[in-house]
Amino acid sequence: MMALSLSEPGLLLSSLLGVPVLLFLFVLGYAATFHSHRVDGTKVPPGSFWLFPWIGETLHALSLPPQEFFNQKTKKYGITFSTHVMGTPTILSSDVELTKTVYQQTNKLFDLALPSTTASILGKESLFFMKADIHKKVRNLIKVPFSVKELESFIPSIDRTCQNVTASWKNQEQIRVYHEAKKYVLNIAWNYLITIDTQSYPYMDKMLEDVPGATQIEKLAHLYFTTQSGMMALPFRIPGLKYYKALNSRKKIQEVLKQVIADRRSGEVECKDFLQSLLLPMEDGSLLTDDQVMDNIFTLLGASDVTTSTCLVWMVKNIHENPKVYKDMKAELDAIKKSKPEGELLTLEDLKKMTITTWTMNETLRMINVVGWFFGRTSDKDVQIKDVAIPKNWVIGLTHMFHLDERYFPEPEKFNPYRFEKTPMPFTFTPFGQGCRTCPGKDLARFEILTFFYHLITNYSWEPVEPNEGTCWHPFPHPEHLHPVKLTPRHLGDN
């Protein structure tokens, strides 16, 4: 048999020519495979998957604000289109009816689609990954502590935390709003979860002695932030890398929580907090395991932190850029402060009076999708909803882009809280989702946000240090430099 040698010029040439041809054929086949996907004869929505498998259009999408990517695609393909992002073929849509149906079919036809790193950081027993049956039982269990009735007794704790955080700004000429907002939200979350402000945990000092931070809550916050930064990182367990550090911090928090849970189960310590309600029997009499309890504590920390602090920072920015809104909020909040005896904490009745502040929160949530670019659903079966084919294992992304549709919100690019004087059309304003997985923390978030602006506006005025600060859009939208502002203390009646 004659051996082939690449040293032969003809063979070398044809080999070199062969590589691009093979590559071309591969890419053609790859693209054709996606475009030919059908469910019951219906083709997937039009779109493009770009050239390379796995990467798809990810880099292009991440290089733009979500709205711009969406506008580009919508112009070309319509309001429902196919793409390939984050390693998965994906359908994105701003169609209200389609979104509503996907929400209604969640836990029936669809499960949540989240990155695998999120799963390993939050834990596989997280509410996010629970299947229909257990999900329903746990949602029923947490319904009580998240109800307005129960949260009402937590308002003083939110108020005290807010006063501490805002008082700490007195000696600072400048703060970074996003950083402060995160600190505030996380302190509330830990108090809500395990009553750390009034309950003593002596063993934590030893367990957390090598963790940076002056107090137990600061140490827990430090560990949590390290954990969180691994959620969207590449999943390499290599010392020094974000994901590795995140898993180590998670382990440390778990050790602490194990001890806290053991004390509660033994009846030695009893508090009126979220952890205590997770230890109650579910409707069928069964109890959550320690792992389930711990994973759901991580879930609440993660779900409350990014969302609420993102809303807070954009609200601060929006209010400053809209003097009429600022003036009206100031009048509203000053009036509430004037009506209260000195030192009295906020009540539910006070929060209910914050109408313009609530509209401003809604308008901020309308304009910025604080949960990130989109969150997805996926199915292990082919699904067809009206004329949209969703093949199995594809992701259907819920983008909430209809918040920016002029048919539902005229002049959608304009920040106009007063539009919320009228209730939006059904299913067109859904910052907290819909259906069986609607955000359970929405009232807690609302109370935190209203309290924050009550103390900010009645105690300070502020000027942004960088009026033209850019925006980082991914994974969660925030001002590029965490929004540094200069604060000036103000007294009631001051402009």
Binding residues (CB under 6 A) for ligand HEM: these are 127-128, 139, 299-300, 303-304, 307-308, 311, 365, 370-371, 375, 431-433, 437-441, 444-445
In terms of C-beta density within 10 A (0-12 exposed, 13-18 middle, 19 or more buried), how is residue 342 classed?
Answer: exposed
Give the DSSP H/E element, type plus range, for residue 421.
none
DSSP state letters, 243-305: HHHHHHHHHHHHHHHHHHHHHHHHTS---SSHHHHHTS--TTS----HHHHHHHHHHHHHHHH
Nearer to ligand HEM, 310 or 416 (CB): 310
The structure tokens listed for 278 are 């997770």
CA angle 143, 370, 423 (to 5 degrees): 70
Which of 437, 129, 108 has its CA nearest to residue 299? Answer: 129
Least Å from the CB of residue 304 to ligand HEM: 3
Nearer to ligand HEM, 204 or 439 (CB): 439
Least Å from the CB of residue 223 to ligand HEM: 18
Nearer to ligand HEM, 393 or 438 (CB): 438
- The pairing of beta strand 395-398 with beta strand 478-479: unpaired
Alpha carbon distance 285, 283 (integer Å): 5
481 CB neighbour count, 10 Å cutoff:
13
The structure tokens listed for 54 are 């796995």
Nearer to ligand HEM, 47 or 376 (CB): 376
Residues 332 and 356: beta-carbon distance below 8 Å: yes
The structure tokens listed for 81 are 């289109």
- Distance separating the N- and C-terminal Cα atoms of the chain: 94
Q: Is 311 annotated as a binding-site member? A: no
Nearer to ligand HEM, 404 or 487 (CB): 404
The structure tokens listed for 231 are 């959620």
Give the DSSP H/E element, type plus range, for residue 13.
helix 9-35
Least Å from the CB of residue 297 to ligand HEM: 10
* CB neighbour burial string for 284-320, b if at least 16 within 10 angstroms, e if fewer: eeeebebebbbbbbbbbbbbbbbbbbbbbbbbbbbbb
Integer CA distances (angstroms), 261 to 227, 250, 267, 278, in order: 20, 16, 10, 10
Alpha carbon distance 426, 443 (integer Å): 19
Least Å from the CB of residue 441 to ligand HEM: 2
Which of 229, 230, 234, 204 has its CA nearest to residue 219? Answer: 204
Nearer to ligand HEM, 49 or 452 (CB): 452
Nearer to ligand HEM, 39 or 141 (CB): 141
Least Å from the CB of residue 475 to ligand HEM: 14
Least Å from the CB of residue 245 to ligand HEM: 24
Nearer to ligand HEM, 57 or 95 (CB): 95
Least Å from the CB of residue 255 to ligand HEM: 23
Nearer to ligand HEM, 66 or 431 (CB): 431
Least Å from the CB of residue 58 to ligand HEM: 22
Nearer to ligand HEM, 73 or 437 (CB): 437
Residues 466 and 484: beta-carbon distance below 8 Å: yes
Least Å from the CB of residue 363 to ligand HEM: 13
Least Å from the CB of residue 168 to ligand HEM: 22
Alpha carbon distance 223, 464 (integer Å): 30
Alpha carbon distance 454, 450 (integer Å): 6
Which residue is closest to ligand HEM by CB?
Answer: 441
Residues 219 and 213: beta-carbon distance below 8 Å: yes
Question: Which residues make Cβ contacts (< 8 Å) with residue 70, sequence separation at least 6?
Answer: 92, 94, 399, 401
**Residues flagged as binding site for heme:** 439
